[in-house]
Amino acid sequence: MKKYNVALIGTGFMGKAHSIATAVVPILFGAPVEIERKVVVDIDEELAQNAAKQYGFTEYATDWRDVVNRPDIDIIDICTPNDTHAEIAIAAALAGKHVMCEKPMSMTVEEAQRMQEAARETGVVTMVSYNYRHTPAVQMAKRLIEEGRIGDILNFRGYYLQDWGADPELPLSWRFNKAKAGSGTLGDIGTHVIDAARLLVGEFASVNSIVKTFIPERPLPAGRFFGPAGQASSERGKVDVDDAALTMIKFTNGVYGTIEVTRNAWGHHNQLGFEIYGTKGSIAFDYQRLNELRVAFADDPKDAFGFRTIYSGPHQPFGDKLWPVAGMGQGYIDIKSIEWYNFLKAIAEKGQASPNFDDGLQIERIADAILTSGVSGEWEEIEQPA
């Protein structure tokens, strides 16, 4: 059986999460293809070396260009800031490597288009890490919708609320910088909800949005800055991306919806959620209670009617591969592992993963229309997938 060697690019928060997932996926799921965690890359040699040891990779390197064309590498796992995704992914795809790419797929629609073209040219398997869709409770919501259990969908109410951006003294990391991130809250977390909405409801036809930057200036970071925490310097710099976006949606199938995204909602740490109302029932999910899917069915007895909770377990998608008893608790790494399982399964079956670069491109088109609408104040039409 062929062994697939993985090169991880980027050793930050996401590099760590992917490393745990690639370590445990064979244990949890019996990996569909055998993988070896071969080389880890970081521009900082000390970080690369430490990560190789801590995350369990055989080798380390400091330049992804030295790795992407190596004949012994089969999978490139991109966990670097957004401004590097396109260049690495295109080089990897053209070299015939399967590509896992952290979200958002790119900084612009044009970059996403070039990434999609490169992947199509060589037929490699691609996946964009919109991980929350792999949550068993979210997949259960999808199953209920497909089985018609809530009837025809009337509307979708999605949100992603965080609070790590709410402190005005939090240093200006790359996530607040257009040249590095492409956009702000919308690209960072809004795209996860767009992914969920496309998964559960369908394609977006048009959007009308209010887009706001609440904190226009922040202290510059002292030294290299990795994530939401970090040291501030005494100088200040301009924030040139969005802090929040509020969007009305018309889907192509006639469903209506809204999405609210902000990193300035004190008290909401990582709250991605949605409610979907149908002609025969409702579904509600909130990631901070990721083991629970709340449902209400119109034909339940009137005296016992109301939302009830399904606790994730062996009867929900992927649950049979995790733990034998419902309510034991699934977590972030379980979901990252399901994501990797789905990616490796697509490689084994020579199929395509979901969400792939086609999905990633469509999400970029929607995000772009939201930002455009934030300026124009108009409904913006979305170009549909070819």
5 versus 191: smaller Cβ distance to ligand SOE: 191
Q: Which residues lie across from 249 on neighbouring strands?
A: 207, 257
Q: Which is nearer to ligand SOE, 191 or 208 (CB)?
A: 191
Kind of pairing between the strands at 59-61 and 34-41: parallel
CA 268 to chain centroid, in Å, comes to: 18
Q: Could you tell me the smallest distance in angstroms from the CB atom of residue 162 to ligand SOE?
A: 6
- In whole angstroms, the minimum distance from the beta carbon of 124 to ligand SOE comes to 23
- Comparing CB distances to ligand SOE, the nearer of 35 and 189 is 189
The two structure tokens encoding residue 304 = 């016992």
Could you give the 3-state DSSP secondary structure of residue 47? Answer: helix
- Kindly give, in sequence order, each residue whose CB lies less than 8 Å from that of residue 107, ignoring residues fewer than 6 positions away: 82, 83, 85, 86, 181, 182, 183, 187
Residue the block writes with tokens 């490393």: 19
245: closest CA among 194, 186, 165, 204?
186
Residues of the shown chain interacting with ligand SOE in the complex, contacts defined by CB under 6 A = 162, 188-189, 270
CB of 22 to ligand SOE, least distance (A): 18
The CB-of-72 to ligand SOE minimum distance in angstroms stands at: 31
Q: Which one, 258 or 270, has the nearer CB to ligand SOE?
A: 270
Q: How far is the CB of 43 from ligand SOE (least distance, A)?
A: 20
Q: Specify the residue, 188 or 339, whose C-beta has the smaller distance to ligand SOE.
A: 188
Q: CA 206 to CA 302: how far, in whole Å?
A: 38
| Residue 339 C-beta: closest distance to ligand SOE, Å | 12
**SS3 sequence, 76-139?**
EEECCCHHHHHHHHHHHHHCCCEEEECCCCCCCHHHHHHHHHHHHHHCCCEEECCHHHHCHHHH
In the complex, least distance from residue 8 CB atom to ligand SOE, rounded to whole angstroms: 17
Which helix or strand (DSSP H or E) is residue 262 part of?
strand 256-262
Q: Which residues contact 187 (CB under 8 A, 6 or more apart)?
A: 82, 104, 107, 181, 241, 367
Q: Retrieve residue 15's tokens.
A: 């590099």
Least distance to ligand SOE, CB of residue 2, Å: 32
Helix axes 13-29, 45-55, angle to 10 degrees: 20
- Minimum CB–partner distance for residue 140 and ligand SOE (Å): 20
Q: Of the two residues 126 and 183, which places its CB atom closer to ligand SOE in the complex?
A: 183
Residue closer to ligand SOE (CB basis): 62 or 270:
270
Strands 244-251 and 204-212: antiparallel
Alpha-carbon gap, residue 317 to 56, rounded angstroms: 29
Residue nearest to ligand SOE (CB): 188
Cβ-based nearer residue to ligand SOE, 42 or 188: 188
114 versus 336: smaller Cβ distance to ligand SOE = 336
Contact assessment for residue 300 and residue 150, using Cβ atoms and an 8 Å cutoff: no
